[in-house]
Structure 1
Amino acid sequence: MTTRSRHCLAAAGRVLVLLSCAALAGPARAAADPARDVEARQVLFWSVAGGGNQLTHGPAASWLHLQNASPTRAWPIELTGTDGFNQSAVIRLILPPATQVRVPCVLPLATWHGNVEVRAGGRVLPCTFHWPAGQPGHAPGAPPALLLSRGLPLDPFLSGLNPPAGGSGAGPSGAASGRGGAFVSVSRAEVEADAWPDDWLFFAAFDAVALASADVPRLPGPALEALVRYAECGGQVIIFGDATPPKGWEARTPERDEFGARYPVGFGSWAIRPMLTATADAAWANDLQNRLRESRDRHPTLSTQLSPAFALQQARIPLKAAALTIALFAVLAGPLNLAFVIRRQRRLWLLWTTPLLGVLFSLAVIGVFVLGEGVRSRGVLQAVTLLNEGTRRATTLAIEGLYCPLPPRGGVTYDGDWQVTPLGTADERLSRELDLSAGQCFRRGWVRSRLPAGFALRGSRHAAERLPLRREGDALVAVNGLGAPIERLAVADSAGQLWAARDLAPGAEARLERLPEGSGVVVTPAWLWEQRRWPEPMKTTLWQPERGQYLAVLKESAFIRPRLPRAHYKQAALVIGTPAEAVEAPAAAAGGRPAANGGGR
Structure 2
Amino acid sequence: MTSRNLAGLALVLVLLGAAAAHAQSTSVGDVDIALETPLSAEVTHGYSEYVLTVKNRSSEKPHTVTVQFPRYGSASGIMHIASLSRTVRVEPGETKVLNLFQPMQPIMVGEGVEVILDGRKQDIPSVPIRRAYRGAYTYSRMPGSSSGLMPTTVQLYSPKVDLRWNNIIGTILQSATFSQQHNPRATRPVEDWSPQWLAYSAYDGVVLDAQEMNRAREATREALFRYAEAGGVLIIVGDYKVPAGWKPAPESLPGQERYDRVFGRVFVIRMQPHQYTSKHHSILHADLRSTARPFQNLPTVADAQNSFKVVEDVGIPVRGLFTLMVVFALVIGPLNFYFLGRAKKKIWMLWTIPAISLVTCLTVMGYMFLSEGWSGHLRTETLTVLDHSTRRATTIGQTAFYSPVTPGDGLRFSMDTELTILIGEDPFRYRYSGRSSSGKPCALDWSDGQHLSRGWVSARVPAHFKVRKSQTVSERAILKKTGSGITLTNALRAPIVNFWFADADGQIWTAESVPEGATVPLRKGDR
Same fold (TM over 0.5): yes
With over 3 angstroms needed to count, the CA separation of the structure-2 counterparts of 1:502 and 1:181, relative to structure 1, is same
| 1:498 lines up with 2:508 in the alignment | yes
Give the secondary structure class of the aligned counterpart of 1:115: coil
Aligned residue in 1 for 2:6: none
Aligned residue in 2 for 1:72: 60
| 1:158 lines up with 2:155 in the alignment | no
Mean Cα deviation higher: 77-86 or 467-476? 467-476
Alignment of 1:13-162 (within 5 A): 35=28, 37-43=30-36, 47-48=39-40, 53-82=41-70, 84=75, 85=80, 87-109=82-104, 111-112=107-108, 114-119=110-115, 121=117, 122-124=122-124, 127-135=127-135, 141-158=150-167, 161-162=170-171
Amino acid at match of 2:208: L
Aligned residue in 1 for 2:454: 444
Which of 197, 200, 211 is the matching residue for 1:200?
Answer: 197
Amino acid at match of 1:424: I
Aligned residue in 2 for 1:19: none
Give the secondary structure class of the aligned counterpart of 1:257: coil
With over 3 angstroms needed to count, the CA separation of the structure-2 counterparts of 1:405 and 1:474, relative to structure 1, is same
Say what the alpha-carbon RMSD is for the aligned residues: 4.2
1:43 Cα offset (Å): 3.8
Aligned residue in 1 for 2:7: none
Aligned residue in 1 for 2:268: 272
1:342 Cα offset (Å): 7.2
1:294 Cα offset (Å): 0.8
With over 3 angstroms needed to count, the CA separation of the structure-2 counterparts of 1:324 and 1:118, relative to structure 1, is closer
- Mapped partners of 2:369, 2:497: distance in 1: 34
| 1:459 lines up with 2:469 in the alignment | yes
| 1:218 lines up with 2:215 in the alignment | yes
1:414 Cα offset (Å): 1.4
Amino acid at match of 1:490: W
- Mapped partners of 1:336, 1:113: distance in 2: 46
With over 3 angstroms needed to count, the CA separation of the structure-2 counterparts of 1:218 and 1:377, relative to structure 1, is same
Deviations, residues 209-228 of structure 1 (Å, cap 9, x unaligned): 11112222221222112212
Residues 317 and 369, structure 1, Cα contact 8 Å, conserved in 2 = no
- Mapped partners of 1:160, 1:291: distance in 2: 12
Give the secondary structure class of the aligned counterpart of 2:50: strand
- Mapped partners of 2:29, 2:323: distance in 1: 69
Give the secondary structure class of the aligned counterpart of 2:284: helix
With over 3 angstroms needed to count, the CA separation of the structure-2 counterparts of 1:408 and 1:138, relative to structure 1, is farther
| 1:230 lines up with 2:227 in the alignment | yes
- Mapped partners of 2:255, 2:216: distance in 1: 24
1:206 Cα offset (Å): 0.8
Which of 432, 457, 468 is the matching residue for 2:478?
Answer: 468
- Mapped partners of 2:218, 2:282: distance in 1: 33
Residues 41 and 129, structure 1, Cα contact 8 Å, conserved in 2 = no
Amino acid at match of 2:132: P
1:401 Cα offset (Å): 0.8
The percent identity for this pair of structures is 24
With over 3 angstroms needed to count, the CA separation of the structure-2 counterparts of 1:334 and 1:252, relative to structure 1, is same
1:435 Cα offset (Å): 1.4
Equivalent pairs, count: 473
Residues 27 and 33, structure 2, Cα contact 8 Å, conserved in 1 = no
- Mapped partners of 2:81, 2:392: distance in 1: 38
1:127 Cα offset (Å): 4.8
Amino acid at match of 1:88: S
Give the secondary structure class of the aligned counterpart of 1:215: helix
Aligned residue in 1 for 2:382: 383
With over 3 angstroms needed to count, the CA separation of the structure-2 counterparts of 1:279 and 1:131, relative to structure 1, is farther
With over 3 angstroms needed to count, the CA separation of the structure-2 counterparts of 1:464 and 1:71, relative to structure 1, is closer
1:349 Cα offset (Å): 8.8
Mean Cα deviation higher: 334-343 or 286-295? 334-343
Give the secondary structure class of the aligned counterpart of 1:189: coil
- Mapped partners of 1:66, 1:504: distance in 2: 49
Alignment of 1:514-533 (within 5 A): 514-516=524-526
Deviations, residues 94-131 of structure 1 (Å, cap 9, x unaligned): 33333333332322346336313152632426754323
Residues 112 and 133, structure 1, Cα contact 8 Å, conserved in 2 = yes
Aligned residue in 1 for 2:293: 297
| 1:395 lines up with 2:390 in the alignment | no
With over 3 angstroms needed to count, the CA separation of the structure-2 counterparts of 1:66 and 1:355, relative to structure 1, is closer
1:437 Cα offset (Å): 1.8
1:252 Cα offset (Å): 7.2
Residues 113 and 132, structure 1, Cα contact 8 Å, conserved in 2 = no
Amino acid at match of 1:206: Y
Residues 482 and 506, structure 1, Cα contact 8 Å, conserved in 2 = yes
Mean Cα deviation higher: 146-155 or 201-210? 146-155
1:394 Cα offset (Å): 1.8
| 1:481 lines up with 2:480 in the alignment | no
Give the secondary structure class of the aligned counterpart of 1:47: coil
Amino acid at match of 2:183: V
Q: TM-score, normalised by structure 2?
A: 0.76
Mean Cα deviation higher: 342-351 or 359-368? 342-351
- Mapped partners of 1:342, 1:120: distance in 2: 61
Which has the larger Rg? 1
1:344 Cα offset (Å): 10
- Mapped partners of 2:340, 2:56: distance in 1: 83
Residues 156 and 279, structure 1, Cα contact 8 Å, conserved in 2 = no
With over 3 angstroms needed to count, the CA separation of the structure-2 counterparts of 1:70 and 1:347, relative to structure 1, is same
1:57 Cα offset (Å): 0.9
With over 3 angstroms needed to count, the CA separation of the structure-2 counterparts of 1:388 and 1:204, relative to structure 1, is same
- Mapped partners of 2:386, 2:305: distance in 1: 28
Mean Cα deviation higher: 452-461 or 218-227? 452-461
1:420 Cα offset (Å): 2.7
1:56 Cα offset (Å): 0.8
- Mapped partners of 2:354, 2:56: distance in 1: 65
Larger RCO: 1 or 2 (CA < 8 Å, sep 6+): 2
Aligned residue in 2 for 1:432: 442
Give the secondary structure class of the aligned counterpart of 2:406: coil
Residues 213 and 242, structure 1, Cα contact 8 Å, conserved in 2 = yes
With over 3 angstroms needed to count, the CA separation of the structure-2 counterparts of 1:143 and 1:400, relative to structure 1, is same
- Unaligned stretches of 5+ residues in structure 2: 1-25, 140-148, 425-433
With over 3 angstroms needed to count, the CA separation of the structure-2 counterparts of 1:35 and 1:341, relative to structure 1, is closer
